[in-house]
Structure 1
Amino acid sequence: MKIIRASVYLSGALVSSAAVAADLPSAKGPPIAPPPAAFSWQGGYVGVYAGALLGDGSFTFLRQAPQRGAALVGGGAIGYNLQWTPTVVLGVEADFGYRGPIQSEAVSRTYPGATDAGILGTFRARAGYAFTPRWLVYGTAGLAYGTDFAPRSFTASLPLTFGRGSTGTTVRPGWTAGGGVEYAWSDRISVKVEYLYAWLADSGVGYSTNFGVASANVSSAGHIVRGGLNYRFTTGGTGTSLVK
């Protein structure tokens, strides 16, 4: 009988302890939020850019005259980045824009005039290294196209010749290479500074002169320094690297 009474007493004590424990506040803390996703460069983007071009071409009529004047450049770009690893970013980018008039140098008794304004665009591959999650340094190379650097007119001595363009400008193919640094200001916005060297195929340009129609050779090339602003279609934390 004593054993039965002890069992009943013990059962009641356990039930009472459980009820009291249920009324006590939980010792558990709030659930821990998952860490934010790591920033990723992966995704498409559009952007704008502006800068300057320093001519590195030449105009040749009997003698060669360098075309080293500066011109404004500006336009728009579209591209896509692939986060290959946490530090390696691959991509493609195409841009199209305006190139201002370029003034030639007067040397060797040949005096080319300024060029007309024209277009300048590229289609390039990019390969970058993210030395921090939001800082990217990259190299780039690919195709270029643009209006040749043909002067509107020229003057030459020995013999004294005055010429004015009669065939106009043409769009020439070429190549470009360079590099830059890009910083992700936010998950959507990034800013960059970029250098490119662009070369376009030589062109023969006709001029009406005081001796009749004459032909000159135009070599079109230049150094480009520009800054850009990109808007990314995907936020920085949604991409993942392909190689772990």
Structure 2
Amino acid sequence: MKTFLLAVASIVLGTASVQAADLAAQYTKAPMMTPAYNWTGFYVGGNVGGQWGSSDPSTSTVFSPTGYFAASSVPAVNTVGAQGINSSGVTGGLTAGYNWQVNNAVFGIEGDINYFGFKGRASGTAVYPCCAPDTFTVNSSVSADWLATIRGRIGFLAAPTWLLYATGGAAISEVKANFNFTDTFAGGAAESGTIRDTRVGWTAGVGTEYAFGGGWSLKAEYLYVDLGRATATSTNLVGSAGTLPFPSSVFTHSVDIKSNIVRVGVNYKFGGPVVARY
């Protein structure tokens, strides 16, 4: 019996020793570190979208005793000369900027140059109050082919790779406008004016950007643009079928452009720090 009990005890102790050895050999690996996206760095990209906006070109004149117009004609010309133009079209171009990430906040500066494609025409005709049935006509055309912006950006991270931001700064474009006045009185009169002005206005908007790996990100953005108003004067009115000048009949022409832009884009960020995260 003793021999049997000794044999059983030997087997139990041996089994326990093996299990203890197995337990001693087991260990747990440290979790793998995964890189967290960091927005700091220089980036370039492209964008495409649409713009819709308006312009209010204006043509006006003043009464002069030695001028061309009767006193009653001046308000009529100024009323017809207050015109409105709507424009819409495709816009697109190139972007470059730099971001700084501070915790969950992102600060940046961004510039872009784009095809703007703003253009439109307006025309109005009315009867002279003094001299019916003679009429006069005012024509206007407005265009701006390109638009550049230089803006600051400030945003916060809704997620490590998802940025929501506000943006604002300067908007720059060459505004072009042509104006023409004609009438049918006494052989006809004509006047013309031109504006060519590189305008520095302002822009502001909001956007969102999503980084999806390898430095690439997608963005969607809305911008409001106001280029202000440019003005020019002319004294080149000629009546009596182009034979009699009236330099005292001074014309004032002005133009403004306001636009809404919605666009999407893709950016590529060069380098920048990567933070290890478990």
> TM class by shorter-chain length?
0.7 to 0.9
Aligned residue pairs, count: 214
> How far 1:46 moved relative to its partner?
0.4
1:39-54 paired onto structure 2 within 5 Å: 39-54=37-52
Q: Which residue of 1 aligns with 2:120?
A: 103
Q: Which residue of 2 aligns with 1:226?
A: 263
1:194-213 paired onto structure 2 within 5 Å: 194-205=221-232
> How far 1:196 moved relative to its partner?
0.8
Please, what TM-score do these two structures have when normalized by structure 1? 0.72
**Matched residues in 2 for 1:107 and 1:55: separation?**
21
Q: Mind listing any 5+ residue stretches in structure 1 that lack a counterpart?
A: 1-16
Instruction: Choose which of 141, 146, 151 in structure 1 pairs with 2:168.
Output: 141
Q: Which residue of 1 aligns with 2:147?
A: 120
Please say which structure displays the higher CA radius of gyration.
2
1:93 aligns with 2:110: yes
Identity over the aligned pairs, expressed in percent? 30
Q: Which residue of 2 aligns with 1:70?
A: 88
Asked whether the 8 Å contact 1:48–1:76 carries over to 2, the reply is yes
> How far 1:206 moved relative to its partner?
6.0
Q: Which residue of 2 aligns with 1:151?
A: 177
**Matched residues in 2 for 1:161 and 1:27: separation?**
105
Larger strand fraction of residues: 2
**Matched residues in 1 for 2:25 and 2:275: separation?**
37
**Matched residues in 2 for 1:155 and 1:174: separation?**
29
**Matched residues in 1 for 2:95 and 2:217: separation?**
13
Asked whether the 8 Å contact 1:64–1:108 carries over to 2, the reply is no
After superposition, the Cα gap between the structure-2 partners of 1:210 and 1:184, relative to the gap in structure 1 and judged at 3 Å, is farther
Q: Which amino acid counterpart does residue 265 of structure 2 have in structure 1?
A: G
> How far 1:229 moved relative to its partner?
1.0
Please, what TM-score do these two structures have when normalized by structure 2? 0.64
After superposition, the Cα gap between the structure-2 partners of 1:195 and 1:84, relative to the gap in structure 1 and judged at 3 Å, is same
**Matched residues in 2 for 1:129 and 1:108: separation?**
54
Q: Which residue of 1 aligns with 2:130?
A: none
After superposition, the Cα gap between the structure-2 partners of 1:128 and 1:187, relative to the gap in structure 1 and judged at 3 Å, is farther
Q: Mind listing any 5+ residue stretches in structure 2 that lack a counterpart?
A: 1-16, 60-77, 127-137, 240-244
Instruction: Choose which of 219, 234, 237 in structure 2 pairs with 1:192.
Output: 219
